[in-house]
C-alpha cells in the first residue's frame, strides 16, 4: 500500500476573550486521492490519530479546544481519501479506542518510525503537531511533557530539536497571554472601570454607557448621521468590552 505523506500546516492560535480559535488549518493538497484499504494502524494517518488521542488524554481529560482540533484533524485527513466518510468513521473509532490506552504508545511510535525512517523532517512535523495539541490550552502539563518526550525518543528526534519546539511554543503562548491581558486592560478602560470594581459596579457602568451611546437615543435628539454612526461604533466597543470582562470573571 502506498502511504499517505501528510504535510500539516501548524495552526495559528489566538485569543478572543479567553477563548482560542483555530485559523489557517489548511487542507493538504495531494495530486490524487488514495482509496484506503486495510488496518488504519498500518497507515501513517491512523498512527498519527492514535498518538493524538494519547496526547489529548495525557492529563486525564480531553478539553474543548483539544476536541475541536481533533475534529478538524479527522476531517482534514479523511478528505484526502476517495472513501472519505468510511475513513473518517474508522479514524474516529480508532481515536476513541486509543485515548484511554497508553500501553501501546512505544509500539505505535516504532511503527511510525519504520514508515518515516528516511524522512526526519516529516517525523519532526508530526511531533510539532502533537506538541501544538498539548499546548493548545496554554498549559503544558507534566504528563503531557512526559508523553511527548517518550514519543520524541521513540521517533528518534534529537533532544535539541525537541527543546527548540518546546521553546517556540512557550514563547508563542506567553505572547498570547500578554495580548490577552492587554485586551482585558483596554476593556476596563472602555467601560471607565477597573479590575477592582465588583460585578454590579461593572454592570451599572456598562448600562450607563449603553444609554449614553445608543444610536436610537442619539437619533432621537436630532443629531447628525455622523454622530449616529460614531455612537453605533462606540456601542459595539462597549458591548465587546463588557463581554471580555464577563468572560475573564467566568460570568
* Rounded Cα gap, residues 4 and 44, in angstroms: 7
Phi/psi at 235 (5° precision): -65, -40
What are the pLDDT digits (tens) for 46-80?
A: 999 999 999 999 989 898 878 888 888 888 888 88
* Rounded Cα gap, residues 218 and 104, in angstroms: 66
Per-residue pLDDT 10s for the chain (251 aa) are 333 333 333 333 333 233 333 333 333 333 457 788 888 888 888 999 999 999 999 989 898 878 888 888 888 888 888 899 999 999 999 999 999 999 999 999 999 999 999 999 989 989 998 998 998 877 899 999 999 999 999 999 999 999 999 998 888 878 777 776 668 888 899 999 998 999 999 999 999 998 888 877 777 778 788 887 787 888 888 888 888 888 888 76
Phi/psi at 29 (5° precision): -95, 120
Cell 477592582 found at: 196
Would you kindly state where each structural domain of the chain is located, as residue ranges?
Answer: 12-177, 191-248
* Rounded Cα gap, residues 8 and 28, in angstroms: 7
Question: For position 32, what pLDDT does the model report?
Answer: 57
What mean pLDDT, rounded, does the chain reach?
82
What are the pLDDT digits (tens) for 14-55?
A: 332 333 333 333 333 334 577 888 888 888 889 999 999 999
* Rounded Cα gap, residues 144 and 132, in angstroms: 11
Say if CB 51 and CB 108 are below 8 A apart: yes
Longest dimension (CA), the chain: 75
Amino acid at each position: 500500500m502506498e502511504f499517505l505523506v501528510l504535510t500539516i500546516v501548524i495552526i495559528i492560535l489566538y485569543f478572543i476573550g479567553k477563548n482560542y480559535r483555530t485559523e489557517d488549518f489548511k487542507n493538504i493538497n495531494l495530486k490524487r486521492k488514495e482509496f484506503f484499504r486495510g488496518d488504519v494502524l498500518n497507515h501513517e494517518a491512523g498512527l498519527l490519530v492514535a498518538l493524538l488521542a494519547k496526547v489529548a488524554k495525557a492529563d486525564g481529560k480531553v478539553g474543548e479546544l483539544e476536541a475541536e482540533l481533533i475534529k478538524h484533524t479527522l476531517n482534514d485527513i479523511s478528505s484526502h481519501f476517495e472513501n472519505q466518510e468510511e475513513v473518517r468513521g474508522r479514524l474516529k473509532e480508532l481515536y476513541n479506542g486509543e485515548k484511554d490506552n497508553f500501553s501501546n504508545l512505544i509500539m505505535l511510535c516504532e511503527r511510525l518510525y519504520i514508515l518515516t525512517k528516511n524522512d526526519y523532517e516529516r517525523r519532526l512535523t508530526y511531533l510539532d503537531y502533537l506538541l501544538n495539541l498539548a499546548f493548545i490550552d496554554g498549559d503544558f502539563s507534566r504528563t503531557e511533557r512526559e508523553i511527548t518526550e517518550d514519543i520524541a525518543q521513540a521517533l528518534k528526534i534529537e533532544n535539541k530539536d525537541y527543546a527548540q519546539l518546546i521553546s517556540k511554543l512557550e514563547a508563542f503562548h506567553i505572547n498570547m497571554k500578554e495580548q490577552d491581558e492587554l485586551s482585558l486592560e483596554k476593556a476596563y478602560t472602555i467601560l471607565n472601570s477597573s479590575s477592582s470594581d465588583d460585578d454590579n459596579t461593572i454592570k451599572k457602568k456598562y448600562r450607563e454607557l449603553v444609554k449614553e451611546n445608543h444610536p436610537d437615543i442619539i437619533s432621537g435628539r436630532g443629531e447628525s448621521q455622523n454622530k449616529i454612526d460614531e455612537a453605533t461604533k462606540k456601542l459595539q466597543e462597549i458591548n465587546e468590552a463588557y463581554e471580555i470582562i464577563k468572560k475573564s470573571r467566568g460570568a
